[in-house]
Structure 1
Amino acid sequence: MKRTGTIITLLIIFTAAAVGIWYIYSKDLEDPEVYQTETASEQTIIKETVATGNIVPKEEINIKPNISGVIDKIHVEAGEFVEAGDLIAEIKVVPNINSLTSAKNSIAAQQTSVETARLAMENQKAIYDRQKTLFDKGVISANDFDLAQNNYNNAVQRYKQEQVALRGNQQNFDIIKTGTTSGLSEYANTNVRATVSGMVLDVPVKEGNQVIEANNFNEGTSIATIADVTKMIFEGKVDESEVGKIKEGLPLEITVGAYDNRKYEAILDYIAPKGVAENGAIQFSIKGTLKEIEKDSAFVRAGLSANASIILDKADSVLSVKEGLIQYDPETKQPYVEIAIGDQTFERRDVTLGLSDGIYVEIKDGISKEDKLKIWNPLKAPQGRGGYGG
């Protein structure tokens, strides 16, 4: 029995020793954790949200004709600069038969009125001449002579008025038929001129196209679109989750991909009060005015796609660290970092955070620029170290 107990005891001791040796060996094979450090740096942190949209002119003017007809000649092309008053196109009038007939009938009726007024004037002239002869001989009184003279003067005036009305009807007939009349060629409705200075963005009609004048029942045919391309705006949309973070007056940074991501400065000056449902989300329209673009700078074409970075907040040249270096206390949720105080020895240091852009975060208090901050992810030492390495 004694011998059996001794054997069992020896087996237990031997097994424990083997397990201990194996544990020490396996732990020695594991690479020790080595933590690197990093220092804080000065960064300009920008908190922003992005909206997609287009670059469009601040104002686009549609040039429309003052008379219906057919385009006879176009004097401009898209891309040309024009001044207010420059000739855009000429219109050949195609008269409306009903209007032309009505104008012709008005002339005929007015000619009758003129002839009637002429006969009445001549009659009053004859009466006036007789009364004047009698008055000179003292046969009639001055009152009778004055009455005859007054009737004659009125008849002359009426005749002149009827002649003026006839000329007006004749001019109206000419305008309906040709679009202009004698003495008014410089104001001819057949000449379509630019109302503003700027660039011609589009000429949607061609020579031979029929055009309609603007009236109460029709907005008219656009002959050309003119805009000042030095005054452009960004039109875009933001999601409802972002609209609460923005306000009028915030700076925008417009990026135009077509020009190698060239950037333009702008100011947010409009946020739509009402959203529109698009693809299951509510979108709000925004507008931002670009700073005036010099004519000799890169030409920004109307309608180009662009992205607008809306700068919500900005901190210039502040002490910052990478977001990944910040740890949070599991109970108090207080942010902290670990500062190196020796070789692979660290101590906790509470910090006060400021603005963050998702990569860097501002450190308002707690560390200095010289402190070495622990990087969480440890590095493993190379394999093959010690007496057990292969």
Structure 2
Amino acid sequence: MKKVILSIVGLVFVGLSVWLGYYFYKKSKTDPVVYKTENPFVTTIVKKTVATGSIIPRREVAIKPQVSGIVEELYVDAGQTVKEGQLIAKIKIVPNIVSVNNAETSLETARINFENSKKELDRRKGLFEQKVIAEQEYNQFLVDYDLKREALQAAETNLQLVREGASKRKGQISNLVYSPVQGMLLDVPVKVGTSVIERNTFNAGTTIATVADMKSLIFEGLVDESEVGKIKEGMDLNLIIGALEGRTYKAMLEYIAPKGDTSEGAIKFKVRAKMELDDKDFIRAGYSANADIVLDKKDNVLAVKESMLQFKKDSTFVEVETQPQQFEKRLVKTGISDGINIEVVSGLGKKDKIKVVEAPGATKGS
């Protein structure tokens, strides 16, 4: 029995010896770690923040009718350029029965009053010519006659406006819609036969068309509260419009909202920038855009990739190669960063080879 146990122990010992020998053999054959190195380089670093928004016209006007009714004629289409005072549409007035009845009653009352005033004036005129009454008394009836005549004309005009939307007396036509400004028609939301409501104190009215000056466009967007303190009016912006690839537009920041609003769970501030356009540029209203706001810029500075930096407490350092695959830590002073490259103010030269710090778990190669 003892011989069996000793044999088993001996076999285990031999097995472990063989395994350990193989393990140390493999370890001796493992290739040494070789770290990559990179040199500092000269570049231009731009520190910026991004605002998201859209392109809109600076001046956009909604054209609304002066009377309620039905669109009888449309003389323009969306996309067409119109001049100030150009005819846009004609409204067919559908008279309100109650309003027409009241206007007719007022007209009849004014006519009766006027006829009575005229008869009384004729009678008083004869008495005045016979010098039975004084001139002052006669003038009172003359003034009353003039007032009744004006009331009759006003009642006639009111009835005509209620029925037709036009006044022959003053040549005013309220059922014709004109463009108040020069520009491009962005939208004509109504069609012939559409019912429309007039604008008044209690109602905004139906929009017949929307006109805007497409030569004066602005960018309107939002900036996060963490960045708004770094920007100011007059800064340059680079606008990138998603629908127009391969082109960057220039703009100048002209407004920063004094009060922020909650958007997507964060406080953001509205900003507005004036776009710089050429005569040949045509940009449609409503395009979404991103604005790169330049906070700082330095040309031809020595820089390294920000990922190469290492930090310990308040110190910033890199590992510089002194001999092949031998490195020493060197403190550096840094400047502005664009998130990828960072300026090196002091501590490095162009010929220094800096150890590339790879992410944990990454494979190091030669």
Which bin holds the TM-score, normalised by the shorter protein?
0.7 to 0.9
Cα displacement string for residues 309-337 of structure 1 (whole angstroms, at most 9, x for unaligned residues): 34343333321111233233x4x542223
Counterpart of 1:291 in 2: which secondary structure? Answer: strand
2:271 is aligned with 1:287: yes
2:185 is aligned with 1:200: yes
Please report how far the alpha carbon of residue 295 of structure 1 lies from its aligned counterpart in structure 2 after TM superposition.
4.2
Higher deviation after alignment, 344-353 or 62-71: 344-353
Q: Percent identity?
A: 38
Counterpart of 1:102 in 2: which secondary structure? Answer: helix
**Does structure 1 retain, via aligned residues, the 8 Å contact 2:250–2:276?**
no
- 1:161-310 aligned within 5 A: 161-185=147-171, 187-239=172-224, 242-243=226-227, 246-249=230-233, 250-260=235-245, 262-266=247-251, 267=253, 269-271=255-257, 273-276=259-262, 278=264, 281-297=265-281, 299-310=282-293
2:309 is aligned with 1:326: yes
* Structure 1 residues without counterparts, runs of 5 or longer: 1-18, 132-143, 382-390
**Does structure 2 retain, via aligned residues, the 8 Å contact 1:251–1:268?**
no
Please report how far the alpha carbon of residue 181 of structure 1 lies from its aligned counterpart in structure 2 after TM superposition.
2.0
Q: Does the C-alpha gap of structure 1 residues 118 and 333 become closer, same or farther in structure 2, counting only changes over 3 Å?
A: closer
Please report how far the alpha carbon of residue 203 of structure 1 lies from its aligned counterpart in structure 2 after TM superposition.
0.9
Please report how far the alpha carbon of residue 270 of structure 1 lies from its aligned counterpart in structure 2 after TM superposition.
2.7
**Does structure 2 retain, via aligned residues, the 8 Å contact 1:37–1:374?**
yes
Counterpart of 2:62 in 1: which secondary structure? Answer: strand
2:15 is matched with none
Alignment RMSD (CA, Å): 3.0
- What letter is aligned with 1:162? K
- What letter is aligned with 1:180? A
Counterpart of 1:101 in 2: which secondary structure? Answer: helix
Supply the distance in 2 between the matched residues of 1:48 and 1:170 (Cα, whole angstroms). 68
Please report how far the alpha carbon of residue 215 of structure 1 lies from its aligned counterpart in structure 2 after TM superposition.
1.5
Supply the distance in 2 between the matched residues of 1:358 and 1:274 (Cα, whole angstroms). 26
Supply the distance in 1 between the matched residues of 2:364 and 2:204 (Cα, whole angstroms). 73
2:341 is matched with 360
**Does structure 2 retain, via aligned residues, the 8 Å contact 1:243–1:284?**
no
Supply the distance in 2 between the matched residues of 1:244 and 1:127 (Cα, whole angstroms). 86
- What letter is aligned with 1:338? E
Q: Does the C-alpha gap of structure 1 residues 20 and 380 become closer, same or farther in structure 2, counting only changes over 3 Å?
A: farther
Please report how far the alpha carbon of residue 246 of structure 1 lies from its aligned counterpart in structure 2 after TM superposition.
4.5
Counterpart of 1:258 in 2: which secondary structure? Answer: coil
2:299 is matched with 316
Cα displacement string for residues 257-315 of structure 1 (whole angstroms, at most 9, x for unaligned residues): 1111532233262346243263xx22425232232434421x22222222233434333
Q: Which has the larger radius of gyration?
A: 1
Q: Does the C-alpha gap of structure 1 residues 80 and 20 become closer, same or farther in structure 2, counting only changes over 3 Å?
A: same
1:109 is matched with 109
Q: Does the C-alpha gap of structure 1 residues 247 and 271 become closer, same or farther in structure 2, counting only changes over 3 Å?
A: farther
Q: Does the C-alpha gap of structure 1 residues 71 and 294 become closer, same or farther in structure 2, counting only changes over 3 Å?
A: farther
- 1:39-58 aligned within 5 A: 39-58=39-58
1:349 is matched with 330
**Does structure 2 retain, via aligned residues, the 8 Å contact 1:49–1:310?**
yes
Supply the distance in 2 between the matched residues of 1:243 and 1:373 (Cα, whole angstroms). 32
2:84 is matched with 84
Counterpart of 2:167 in 1: which secondary structure? Answer: coil
Counterpart of 1:265 in 2: which secondary structure? Answer: strand
Please report how far the alpha carbon of residue 235 of structure 1 lies from its aligned counterpart in structure 2 after TM superposition.
3.5
Q: Among residues 128, 135, 159, which one is paired with 2:145 in the alignment? A: 159
* Structure 2 residues without counterparts, runs of 5 or longer: 1-19
1:15 is matched with none
Q: Does the C-alpha gap of structure 1 residues 243 and 36 become closer, same or farther in structure 2, counting only changes over 3 Å?
A: closer
Higher deviation after alignment, 49-58 or 104-113: 49-58
